[in-house]
Structure 1
Amino acid sequence: MHSLSRPPPTLPWTRIAAFLGLFAAIYVAAAAIAEVRVGRAGQGAMQDLLAAKGSQVDWIVLGASHALPLAYGGVPERLEAETGQRMMVLAEVGAGPLYADFVLRQARVDIEPKHILYVADSFAFRSPRWNEERIADRKLLRKTPWRASTLGILAGLAGSEGIAPGALLDYALGFSKLNPPDRFPQDDWRGAENFDRSFRPSRHATGARIGYLYPEGAAKADPGRYLDALEAMFARARAEGLSVTVVKLPVPDAFREALPGETEFDAALAARLAPLGIPLHDLSAALADPRLYFDTDHLNRDGIDLLYERHLGPILAAGG
């Protein structure tokens, strides 16, 4: 009598396919909800560009947090009322020149700017933390609206500037919008909330701020790579018909004197801008009174008013 042999078990491919299809559908639905509620609901340079898509803008402001009080203090509204020129402040906290280039590339897709006002900060040229790592920062990817144009820009930067491939995948899949990243020290900077305050000078606060801005230590940090990036960005902008103006905004004397290697950075920056014919307005010592700042180094409302009246307004009215 011969025993009957059972056929080998087969994988339930239809069930696996159904499960994967259900998972993908749920993920896409969740990502779409997160995109609406997170990626497009808040404020940020990329969110503002999406909202302004198709607009003509005279000035776009690029840089790090020192530029943000221009928006808090109503400089765009005041400039338009007095001169008819429109301004968008597209700065971002901790944004170095590589992140500014990321924003500028997207701006060239969305709007029609005429002039760039770049707010230069030496710390932003001293560390990958404010450049490659800032573009890949999950906290910023979380509030970057999903668009094919942005995905293409990120892919290009990943190839040319060494942006982590994981950032491209994160953005493409909306991972950070679905999974809030952990916060890190001083990432909860609330400039808009503190804008009307006056700061009492503190050596400890100034030292802590300098330590945060220069995580690798400024003495060993060569700004050359990021000056190259800035120069390339400006050359491309000029070739596309945009004018460029660079400013260094005021900071208190105690903060400015504590900045490491500032004289050398100023000389290196001026040397890069001169061959391009780009004006540099160094206003860093223009407003010394600490009562004009809401923290160690950011202008408050009174400071912005004086900055505009005495310095920035004439520069903008003259087209740079």
Structure 2
Amino acid sequence: MGLRYGVLLQEAGNQVDFVDTWLPNVNKIHKQGGVYVSRDHQDRHLVPVKVVTPENYHDDPDVWVVFTKQMQLADFLTRTAHAFNDHQYVLTCMNGMGHVEKLLQYFQPQKVLAGTALVATVLNGPGDVDFIGARGAGTMNLANYTEQPDEMTHRIVTELEKCQFNPNLTTNFRGTLLAKVVFNSVVNTLCTLFEITMGEYAAYPGADELSRQLINEAYDVCERDGVTMLNTRAEELASVNYVSKVANPLHYPSMYQDMSHNRPTEVDYINGYLVKLGAKYNYNAKTHAFLTHLVHLAETTRQAAANDVTSEVQNQAVL
């Protein structure tokens, strides 16, 4: 997602620097002279970009656009802190919850923008990214942490419009963030567990019933916490169906991409977050708790299988 936002902002006429902690990606981009970009597996072409590791970044951008996994953010911020200052803004559309509190340790509250992006992207490998969906098909919501948009906020929105991200600026910060958490708690988690695309999930005759159960439970939690959601429950179900059936039916969500590569998932920051928030109000979000456990069970069994394969290969090598 960082590559998608950065490449499109660069194409819109902005100076963009990329800062990445994943060395294979940094090294591959340096070797190639850029990143290979495709759209829906077609028109693969090289886009020149400038990328460095955090320790080697010493410029002073107007805006940071942050896309890391939740569990990687603290380390990224620590390693990049030397390049932060009080006049910079930060925009993030990361999945899950927990990132805003970390960003507020480095950026002024009035300069923190966060939101959600219904935009599908796949990293095929180092230096190779695939933008899923037709240009302009995705949407995003964003809000200022203070819920008071200023001139720079509107300038950022204008640049995002040029990229056809279809940004919707709101003054409902928590409702904006939790809308995507609820969406992901349905689609990302179920597609990951059953290793299916969003379209395959939506085609299941009982999908609406499954989605509705998870949405209702999530909304019960959020309403107890005093959050005004952006959508009604019916509108949230319609959003799940539109994105799954029309916008990105062939897409495997990011949680699946992590699971399939035996990487830790962000389920604790999505379904698990809703469980913990509900517990504050003595509400048992039992369906989300059950799915959280299932994802961790799948992670554990996949990792054990991967370790068994590694051990077998090592034993064969010794023999």
TM-score normalised according to structure 1 size: 0.30
Question: Computing the radius of gyration over CA atoms, which structure comes out larger, 1 or 2?
Answer: 1
Higher RCO (CA 8 Å, separation ≥ 6 residues): 1
Instruction: From the two aligned structures, give the one with the greater strand fraction.
Output: 2
TM-score normalised according to structure 2 size: 0.30
